[in-house]
Structures are given as structure tokens and as C-alpha cells.
Amino acid sequence: MVLNRYITAEIIRPMFLGIAMLVVIFSGYSFALKLSDAAQGQIPVDIVARLIGLKSLISLEILLPTALYLSIISALSRFYRDSEMAAMQAAGFGEARIMRPVLLLSVLVAVIVGVISLYARPWAYRQSYQIEADARAEFDIRKIEPGRFIELQGSEYVLFARAVDQGKGRLEEVFLQSDRGEKIQVTYAREAWLPPVQPGTRRSFKFRNGYSY
């Protein structure tokens, strides 16, 4: 029916615009975080776009209903402001009839959000965790910028190296702080490096001529 299509269109257009704006804002924030990790050498630059895409997919669970709610409020406010609601009621359409396409659209979005929550979101989380785990397993200390404090594995470890021996792939004058909640451990060493390990095995630093406090 013409009325259904009109009301639906008046909601969908701003909803898509709102989703696009929210995704751009969220992606920009995620890009800044991941670019910082890439600049510190924790993850390769070429996986940043994939991680942002997965994070954006996860965010749709929240952004879709938020954009729909704002679009419904905007459309209904305009109907009342421009006296379109009064015209519809004068033509014999009651509030229940006018709200029918709004309800149908809300149910459709609820189904989409349900699919995202049950299937897309868990898949995206698994993919992003796997990509980051693989990237950190291939962490190349040659990419570390000397003279800067770098957070590793979130904020659990803080690493500082005065110099990087590119030929040997070793850090020189190394400071490492590990914060595990109840215990803070500080390690200082003349040299540190990451020995090769089997795939799937967690890598750990090896220190030479150092002290642990």
C-alpha cells in the first residue's frame, strides 16, 4: 500500500544514513587504535583493514537498533511537525494503522540483529582473535622503534629498548614490566630476543645479562 511504502521509506532513508555515519565514526576510532598497534610493530599494517571490517560487523548489533530508533523518532516528529499525521488521521487512518509499517520494520531489524548476534558476531570475534593471535605470534622485534615504551598484549606488558640490532634481531638495553594484577615484575637485561617456536606455541622473550625485580 502507498501509505506503508511512504512511512517505511521515511524511516529507512535516515536509518541507512545514520548507520553509515555511526560505522564511519566507529571505524575511525578502531582505525586509530589498530594503527597505533601497527606503528609499534605489534601487528602488520596489511591486517588493519580486515580487523576494522570485522569490528564494524560486530558493532552492527548495537548500531542497527540505535539507528532505527533515532530514525523512527525523526520520522514521527516530522509527521507531526508538518501536520502529515493530522492529514493521515483525517483520511481515516488511525494511529494503529499508521504504526503498522513501523512495527513491521522493527521486527525485520530485530530478526537481522538476532542473526548478527547468534552467527555473525561470534564468527567475527573468532576471526579477529585468530588474526591478531597469528600476527602477534609472528611479532618481529626488528620493527620495534627504539627509545619508546610499547604496550604488548593489551596493557599486561610494557617494553622499552634503547636500541635494536637489526642484523641479529635482538634488543639492547631492555626494560620489561609485567603487570598481572596482584604482582608487578620488572626485568632489565643487556639483550633480549624472541627465539623461533613451533606454530601455535606461545612466544616468550629470552634475556641475557639481566636482573628481575
Cα gap 39→89, rounded to integer Å: 60
CB atoms within 10 A of CB 179: 13
pLDDT, tens digit, 9 for 90 and up, residues 16-29? 999 999 999 999 98
pLDDT, tens digit, 9 for 90 and up, residues 57-112? 999 999 999 999 999 999 988 888 888 788 887 877 877 787 888 999 999 999 99
- Mean pLDDT, residues 29-34 taken together: 85
Q: Say what the pLDDT of residue 203 is.
A: 67
Please tell me which residue, 33 or 106, carries the higher pLDDT value: 106
Is the confidence at residue 200, as pLDDT, over 60?
Answer: no
pLDDT, tens digit, 9 for 90 and up, residues 161-172? 888 887 777 888
- Count Cα atoms within 13 angstroms, Cβ side, for 160: 9
Q: Say what the pLDDT of residue 47 is.
A: 84
Whole-model pTM: value is 0.67
Do the Cβ atoms of 89 and 48 come closer than 8 Å? no
What CA–CA distances, in Å, run from 155 to 149, 175, 178? 11, 15, 9
- Interhelix angle 2-39/95-115, rounded to 10 degrees, is 30
Cα gap 191→201, rounded to integer Å: 22
List helix spans (H) across the chain: 2-39, 48-81, 84-90, 95-115, 121-137
Cα gap 126→131, rounded to integer Å: 9
